[in-house]
Amino acid sequence: MNRIASIGAAALISLSATPVPAHAATAWTSCGTAAGLDPRQECTTLQVPLTYDRPGGGTISLAVSRIRTARPGLRRGVLLLIPGGPGSPGLSRPSTMVKRLPGAVLDRYDLIGFDPRGVGRSSPVSCGLAHEDLAPSRLKPYPSAGGDISENVAYARRFSEACARNGGPVLRTISTRNEARDIDAIRRALGEERLSYWGVSYGTYAGAVYATMFPGHTDRVILDSNDDPDPHKVARAWLANYSVGVEDRFPDFAAWAAEHDGEYGLGADGAAVRRTFLDLAERLDRDPIPWPGANPPRLDGGALRETMLNALYSDSGFPGLAGLMRAALGPGPLPEPSTAPDEALQNGAASVAATICDDVEWPGSVGLHRRLVARDRVAHPLTGGMPVNIGPCAYWPYRPAEAPVRVTSQGPSNVLLVQNLRDPATPYSGALRMREAFGRRARMVAVDSGGHGSYVVNGNACGDDTVTTFLVTGERPARDTICR
Q: Could you read off the pLDDT of 329-362 as tens digits, one per residue?
A: 998 799 999 888 898 899 999 999 999 999 999 9
Q: Return d(Cα 400, Cα 414) in angstroms, integer.
A: 30
Question: Residue 13 has what DSSP assignment?
Answer: -
Concatenated DSSP letters for 311-342? HTTSGGGHHHHHHHHHHHHSSSPPPPP----H
Q: Supply the pLDDT for residue 340.
A: 84
Angle (nearest 5°) at CA 102 between 203 and 229: 20
Query: Torsions phi, psi of 116, nearest 5?
Result: -60, 160
**Closest C-alpha to 463, from 450, 196, 194, 83:** 450
pLDDT at residue 48 is higher than 90:
yes
Q: Supply the pLDDT for residue 3.
A: 52
Q: Which long-range contacts (CB under 8 A, 24 or more apart) does 371-378 make?
A: 373/143, 373/147, 373/149, 374/147, 376/243, 377/143, 377/147
Maximum Cα–Cα distance for the chain, whole Å?
66
- Band the pLDDT of 229: cuts 50, 70, 90: very high
Per-residue pLDDT tens over the stretch 104-147: 999 999 999 999 999 999 999 999 999 999 999 999 999 999 99
**Which residues pair with residue 199 across a beta bridge?**
82, 223
pLDDT at residue 8 is higher than 70:
no
- Band the pLDDT of 32: cuts 50, 70, 90: confident
Q: What is the mean pLDDT of the chain?
A: 93
Per-residue pLDDT tens over the stretch 331-340: 879 999 988 8
- Band the pLDDT of 36: cuts 50, 70, 90: confident
Pairing of strands 29-30, 42-49: antiparallel
Q: Supply the pLDDT for residue 15.
A: 35
**Closest C-alpha to 372, from 390, 356, 357, 394:** 390
Average pLDDT over residues 199-214: 98
- Band the pLDDT of 325: cuts 50, 70, 90: very high
Q: Supply the pLDDT for residue 126.
A: 97
Per-residue pLDDT tens over the stretch 392-421: 999 999 999 999 999 999 999 999 999 999
Question: Residue 403 has what DSSP assignment?
Answer: P
Concatenated DSSP letters for 119-159? STTSS-------GGGG-HHHHTT---GGG--HHHHHHHHHH
Q: Return d(Cα 1, Cα 403) in angstroms, integer.
A: 26
pLDDT at residue 4 is higher than 70:
no
pLDDT at residue 22 is higher than 90:
no
Angle (nearest 5°) at CA 240 between 395 and 407: 90
pLDDT at residue 16 is higher than 90:
no
Q: Supply the pLDDT for residue 54.
A: 87
Q: Return d(Cα 421, Cα 423) in angstroms, integer.
A: 6
Decide: helix, strand or coil at residue 226: coil
The dihedral sign for the CA sequence 153, 84, 410, 358 = positive
Q: Return d(Cα 305, Cα 318) in angstroms, integer.
A: 13
Q: Return d(Cα 243, Cα 425) in angstroms, integer.
A: 9
